[in-house]
A and B are shown apart, each in its own frame.
Chain A
Amino acid sequence: MAKTMFEKIWEAHLVRPSQGDTAILYVDRHLVHEVTSPQAFAALRETGRSVVHPEKAFATMDHNVSTRTKDWSLVEKTSRLQMETLQKNCKQFGIKLYDFSDEHRGIVHAIGPELGITQPGMTIVCGDSHTSTHGAFGALAFGIGTSEVEHVLATQTLQQDKAKTMLIKIEGTLKPGATSKDIILAIIGKIGTAGATGHVMEYAGSAIRKLSMEARMTICSMSIEAGGRAGMIAPDETTFEYVKGREYAPKGGMWERALAYWKTLPGDPGAKFDAIVDLDANTLKPQVTWGTSPGQVVSIEDKVPDPESFTNPVDRTAARHALKYMDLQPGTPMTGIKVNKIFLGSCTNARIEDLRDAARIVKGKKVNKDVQAIVVPASEGVRRQAEKEGLDKIFKDAGFEWRFAGCSMCLGMNDDQLKPGERCASSSNRNFEGRQGPGGRTHLMSPIMAAAAAIEGRISDVRKYL
């Protein structure tokens, strides 16, 4: 029978099929960070259990780190305790840690791919919902809770029910100014933030094939924002080219064997999906959110919608709540909404390609005087590469602050936060109430759209800068 890529990877990792209870799925790689792991390690200690495969786990600290300094001076006391707890746990259980000062440290979903830890055909989990990012390599990757982190550490497996499958077909060619961020925002706008609940999403079609790995990761990272259990993209030459030569990638004869296997991963012709969604890349315009859920999104040419225009009463109420929180009036054109902060960062959109594209927009221009703009590279590796290319100088000359790597203002666990009432043009992934700081207001958009907003001090159509 014809199989989808998800079904192939699922079957290859099935330790025990469900017998009216639950399946047990093997986990190839477990990524660990400081926020969702301390209680898991503590529970292992309490129950006298051990980490069965420390060599399959990789840890880093990203959520709490200050992006202003490379020392502890700006790290809040409880954050520091959490980071030191991770150091202690990794040491005790023998887990490789990309520590505070390590040159490879970064957002966990950036360093996995960069170091070649992430490979096609793997099962990858992490106590973080944006683990779906790694699906861009043709891996089955998803976020788990802390009890599941403990379960993986103790058994290298997870109790899992087989998900349904959803095919997202994106055909055509993106026009200048439209990016992979706009693809995923448009999909979430179309199917809703619960549209893919219970499903593993596979993105396919001619528009996906043309995308770089960085752009594919952007799409997969936000699968969770559509409710998806995971998001994945079939591996191809672009994928293999990216993985080859990286630190943990297979080498020599092993590379050839791995490659031969990876080429068998794409779904078979005729494989059936439980749901299919289409999106036309040719007509896609830059997208921007107006509300407090990623599905509350329109094109840059549109206006803030009127809550009364929603036929579903639940959507209507949600829109009313959102506009009140966002302090926006129905009918206001999206272009022209004033912003105070620009955040170029996150596991969704702070890779080298994102920084190159944004730098091209701001080169030779100045950040609006009423705006604070920060660039937070996804990893120290990205930061060094950008500096090698002189991107830091372009950003700094324009008036951006150039920071060290971390999750930063995507969720504001460190000292980068919006103040109440501040409005941010953000390349991140969530516009929830208070997400970037209590009372802060977030408009999600692509990195180049955020760059255009930095120059104008208001939400703008990036296409006029191309």
Chain B
Amino acid sequence: MQPFIRHTGIAAPLDRVNVDTDAIVPKQFLRKIERVGFGKHLFHEWRYLDYEGTRENLDFVLNKPAYRKATVLLARDNFGCGSSREHAPWALADYGFRVIIAPTFADIFYNNCVKNGILLVALKSDEVESLFQQVIQKPGEQISADLEKQIVIDPAGKQYRFDINPFAKTCLLNGLDHIGWTQQFAEQIKSYEQKAKKERPWLV
């Protein structure tokens, strides 16, 4: 996994609440058996006018010239709700997004992003609103996120502190191999299994 330490990039404002993972990557693109190549399907139904994805919807925020190279996504409450599909973070990462800032995120989506090197920053609603206003008024402005210091810096240079689960932080900073990390506790897993076998033998 690609580590995340800090990132600065153009921020695009996606002004929708409850953006679900069906909207992030629709079902017709879930038939792949690989992890790569989902970026072109990101927000397919909003981004394109036709089912085939050949005609861009120029009203959609990511198709506006100033936001085309965005790597930071501003979003509203409950971003990533719905289906557990990891194809959603695969699509966001493949498109180029490294940071998503919103007031709240859905649980499964949050875990999936940590596994894919995407930093999710939860800020207060009024702070997110302020970022929205800045990048709407001055399209193409950049926002920075520094994971070590746990701060976001807006185009005017103002800093916003954010909280993050310490383990998620470690995972992102080091691009941690999650399975490898758990496997260092193989002995504990084994002794748990022996104990569980005695206590609840019908589960074996």
Contacts and interface: CB of A to CB of B under 8 A. Distances in A.
A205 interface: no
A411 to B, nearest CB: 5
A114 interface: no
Contacts of A36: 84-86
A276 interface: no
Contact of A412 (B27, B76, B115): B27
Given A21-B170, A24-B188, A155-B179, A146 B18 contact: no
Given A26-B196, A193-B81, A257-B201, A85 B111 contact: no
Contacts of B202: 119, 250, 254-255, 257-258
B81 A39 contact: no
A138 interface: no
Contacts, number: 184
A201 interface: no
Residue of B27, B76, B112 contacting most chain A CB atoms (<10 Å): B27
B22 A197 contact: no
Interface string A420-450: 0000000000101111001000000000000
A295 to B, nearest CB: 8
B185 A24 contact: yes
A423 B115 CA distance: 37
B22 A227 contact: no
A293 B23 CA distance: 12
A318 interface: yes
Given A15-B188, A435-B22, 19 more contacts: A12-B200, A21-B166, A24-B185, A36-B86, A39-B34, A144-B84, A145-B86, A145-B108, A146-B86, A147-B178, A150-B179, A151-B179, A157-B182, A254-B201, A258-B202, A411-B27, A412-B27, A434-B26, A435-B27
Contact of A121 (B30, B193, B200): B200
20 contacts: A18-B167, A21-B167, A24-B185, A42-B33, A64-B31, A145-B112, A147-B178, A148-B111, A150-B179, A154-B179, A159-B182, A193-B78, A193-B81, A227-B78, A261-B200, A314-B17, A314-B77, A317-B17, A321-B16, A435-B27
Contacts of A321: 16
A122 interface: yes
Nearest to A15: B192
B165 interface: yes
B22 A430 contact: yes
A314 B189 contact: no
Interface residues of B, number: 56
Interface in B75-96: 76-78, 81-86, 89
A145 B81 CA distance: 13
A277 interface: no
Given A39-B33, A155-B183, A413 B28 contact: yes
Interface of B: 15-18, 20, 22-23, 26-28, 30-35, 45, 51, 76-78, 81-86, 89, 104, 106-108, 111-112, 115-116, 165-167, 170, 178-179, 181-183, 185, 188-189, 192-193, 196, 199-203
Contact of B188 (A16, A78, A143, A435): A16
Given A154-B179, A432-B23, A145 B111 contact: yes
A21 B17 CA distance: 31
Contacts of A82: 31-33
B110 to A, nearest CB: 9
Contact of A76 (B31, B83, B84, B183): B31
